Amino acid sequence: MIAIRMMALGRKLGNLYAGLCAPICRRYGMNQTCFDVLMFCANNPDRNTARDICEVRGIKSGMASVAVETLEKNGLLERRGDPEDRRKHRLVPTERAAEVIAEGRAMQARFTGTLREGITAEEFDALESLMAKLENTMERMEREGRLC
């Protein structure tokens, strides 16, 4: 029963977040995937390759590729060579994206703040610890190629 509750909670969180993103996406004429890619690159400058977006954010490679191309075409994102690995390209938001990113970060802060209402700092720390353990378990299962 707990697994179903966790999946339902994840779905509800995703739907709520998408609902909060919708006005920003409409205002700037972009779809949810473009917004997600842009915000991910802005918030994770150390994990800003196409592979990172797919692995961490869970966006399919084809959708990520189209989003990156669209963001580049609209002047919101640019590819930069990685000075340490010439095979990699870093995806960096441009100055033109600053307004979208600022609105997105403000919305994310409201979203997180609302979710934390009624939760003590200790409870939130325990939640973060539990999520880290669950992520580690799932990553280990993936590496081992097993379902359960």
Which stretches of the chain are assigned E, i.e. beta strand?
Answer: 77-81, 89-93
Q: pLDDT tens digits for 28-60?
A: 999 999 999 999 999 999 999 999 999 998 899
What average pLDDT score do residues 12-34 get? 97
- Structure token pair of residue 23: 């006005």
The partner residues of 81 in beta bridges, in order of sequence, read: 89
Asked if 75 and 92 touch (Cβ cutoff 8 Å), the reply is no
Instruction: Report the range of poorest mean pLDDT among 15-24, 66-75, 78-87.
Output: 78-87
pLDDT for the residue numbered 84: 84
Asked if 66 and 60 touch (Cβ cutoff 8 Å), the reply is no
pLDDT at 146 over 90: no
pLDDT for the residue numbered 31: 97
**Euclidean distance between CA atoms 23 and 26, whole angstroms:** 5
pLDDT for the residue numbered 86: 84
pLDDT at 66 over 90: yes
User: What are the backbone angles phi and psi of residue 92, rounded to the nearest 5°?
Assistant: -120, 125
Q: pLDDT tens digits for 90-101?
A: 999 999 999 999
Residue, of 14 and 82, whose pLDDT is higher = 14
**Euclidean distance between CA atoms 59 and 36, whole angstroms:** 9
Asked if 60 and 50 touch (Cβ cutoff 8 Å), the reply is no
Q: pLDDT tens digits for 96-128?
A: 999 999 999 999 999 999 999 999 999 999 999
Give the count of beta carbons closer than 10 Å to the beta carbon of residue 56: 11
